Structure 1
Amino acid sequence: MARIEKLDLGIIESISKILGDTSNGFTGSQIQKLLYEANIEDIDALNTKWKRLNSALANKQEQDGCANYVFHFLQLAMAPVRHYSDIEWFNDTRFKLNRVLSFAGYTLEENGKIAKTEKAATIRESSARASKLREHLLSRSVHPDVLYYCKEELLVDNYFHAVFEATKSIADKIRSKTGLTSDGANLVNEAFSFKTPPIPHLALNSLQTESEKSEQKGFINLLVGLFGTFRNTTAHAPKITWTIDELDALDILSMVSLVHRRLDKAVEAKKLYENLNKII
């Protein structure tokens, strides 16, 4: 590894606070083991976790005159193989570390390796560059359309508008597949109802059995509920009075992702039926 310029001590302190956090950081024994593996002297073993780690990393950097061993420690600590059973923790911790590292012009990539990046000058830039919400969504393999419709909001972790834009994307796709122009519950019923007319615009299956018809009805209820609960609320309630936290946003966007996958596979039943009648 090429020589890495010394990090600002404030960056080392912030890294230590993240990895030595009382609730979500490494345990004392884990810190001891990681320092040993990284060949960094544990000079302050009796102190609190983050201060212990800060002392060790800052001392090593001062001895070497460079940050190489600090990064070596980070890569050992954040090696994906160590955290395969807790992906949420890995993504969350990597996000926090990247907010700090971005001020030095570095990023911790998904493979656990440090790489150079554009240096951030503000907290807003660093947040945008290391969006925790986007990382979590990518780890869940969400449908590309979810990311496409709310990509600008995701960059600043704006959960409110991310949910609003993502739910709007469902209506956009239904209109695109059917040629309908309505919205909300009316659009859903027009597109999927097989009562009037008897052949729906879109079908999830062949609609031949009661089970298949029940699936279609359930999907209608899911979409109507999704629009009513999230899209309509976010469209009419000001952001300051209707808040969505991170876990809510992840779950809602994951549900939107599921809907998009089902819509992609939905058959344009009415067009198919009309074309068959023309042939006959």
Structure 2
Amino acid sequence: MPKTLHPPWSHAVVQAVCTVLASTDWPGLTNSEIDRLLHAQGIELLDDLGWNKRDRLLMQLMGKQEADRAANCVIRFINDAMAPARHMQDRVRFDALRDALSEVLSLVGLKVNEEGRVAKAPAATTLDEVARLAGRLQNELKRRGVHQQVIHYCEEEILRKSIFHAVFEATKGVAERLRDLSGSTLDGADLVDHCFSTRVSPPVIRINDFRTETQVSEHKGFATMLKGAFGTFRNPPAHAARAAGGWTIAEPDALDLFSLLSYLHRKLDAAIVSRAAGH
């Protein structure tokens, strides 16, 4: 960015930046990484008074920003922390930090670009706008090549970054697709049993020629996988209120689930439907 003075950022924005960069979990910077970056800017390190990483970094950056009457020190810290050379061995960490920082920076009309530099971007004023402008979930799903059917059933929830509801709707989408293929009105495990039962040959839906022992085994395993997805990721959210502290899922686990659902949809793309279901 041009070497001009940037107006100071609010305490809330700087705190959000520090929450990302000094997260105690991956992909946050370590204490030694933070100290080196601060030292490079000539910011005097604080004595260890029991502060956690985030609060210590926040105090130092806010102090420097107040002294300079400009946010340049925060921008420089981000630029230095995101220098591509620092992330040569861990591109995933770079992408995670970049996406998370861009969400925060969208509130001041900025982002972290592909070069790891703070750059201009459309400004957001609401949390919904932050989610839409950052597009972190969308970008990650695109990077993973997630099946379009997964996104189709939970596109609004992904845009709003509602992981809880996105997982629920995406898993429900697989059941809806099974009903579309089979004509059945059943749901859950009953639907899977009806579509993939081996008691009749050929099954209503089969994912292969269903001739050899290996093919039959694969078919049964696929049905078990479907039941597992429904039991683990659809049924609990349906009976738990997120706001009440019920069933929750972390974003990395949700992304792995979307990959699993993508696999299930790809197998259904090539599935063979033998006949319409009777119920």
Shorter-chain TM range is 0.7 to 0.9
Mapping of 1:96-111 within 5 angstroms? 96-109=100-113
Normalised to the residue count of structure 2, the TM-score between the two structures is: 0.73
Moved over 6 A (4+): none
Q: CA RMSD in A?
A: 3.6
Cα gap change, 1:61/1:237 in structure 2, threshold over 3 Å: closer, same or farther? Answer: closer
Unaligned runs of 5+ in 1: 272-280
Pick aligned residue for 2:220 from 211, 217, 221? 217
Q: Distance in 2 between matches of 1:149 and 1:80?
A: 36
Q: How many residues align?
A: 265
Instruction: State the secondary structure of the residue aligned to 2:207.
Output: coil
Mapping of 1:43-192 within 5 angstroms? 43-47=43-47, 51=56, 55=60, 59=64, 70-79=74-83, 82-83=86-87, 85-86=89-90, 89-109=93-113, 112-123=116-127, 125-127=129-131, 129-130=133-134, 133-134=137-138, 136-192=140-196
| Worse-matched range after superposition: 109-118 or 222-231 | 109-118
Q: Are the aligned partners of 2:182 and 2:273 in contact in 1 as well (CA < 8 Å)?
A: no
| Equivalent position amino acid for 1:225 in 2 | G
Q: Are the aligned partners of 2:196 and 2:223 in contact in 1 as well (CA < 8 Å)?
A: yes
Q: What is the CA distance between 1:104 and its match in structure 2?
A: 0.6
Cα gap change, 1:103/1:122 in structure 2, threshold over 3 Å: closer, same or farther? Answer: same
Corresponding residue number in structure 1 for 2:9:
8
Pick aligned residue for 1:249 from 234, 254, 271? 254
| Equivalent position amino acid for 1:44 in 2 | E
Cα gap change, 1:73/1:56 in structure 2, threshold over 3 Å: closer, same or farther? Answer: same
Cα gap change, 1:74/1:61 in structure 2, threshold over 3 Å: closer, same or farther? Answer: farther
Q: Distance in 2 between matches of 1:216 and 1:98?
A: 44
Cα gap change, 1:9/1:190 in structure 2, threshold over 3 Å: closer, same or farther? Answer: closer
Q: Distance in 2 between matches of 1:181 and 1:241?
A: 32
Cα gap change, 1:112/1:260 in structure 2, threshold over 3 Å: closer, same or farther? Answer: farther
Normalised to the residue count of structure 1, the TM-score between the two structures is: 0.73
| Equivalent position amino acid for 2:246 in 1 | W
Q: Are the aligned partners of 1:177 and 1:268 in contact in 2 as well (CA < 8 Å)?
A: no
Cα gap change, 1:21/1:218 in structure 2, threshold over 3 Å: closer, same or farther? Answer: closer
Cα gap change, 1:4/1:206 in structure 2, threshold over 3 Å: closer, same or farther? Answer: farther
Corresponding residue number in structure 2 for 1:231:
234
Whether 1:26 and 2:29 are equivalent positions in the alignment is yes
Q: Are the aligned partners of 2:102 and 2:110 in contact in 1 as well (CA < 8 Å)?
A: yes
Q: Percent identity?
A: 38
Q: Are the aligned partners of 1:146 and 1:257 in contact in 2 as well (CA < 8 Å)?
A: yes
| Equivalent position amino acid for 2:181 in 1 | K
Q: Distance in 1 between matches of 2:240 and 2:22?
A: 39
Q: What is the CA distance between 1:216 and its match in structure 2?
A: 0.2
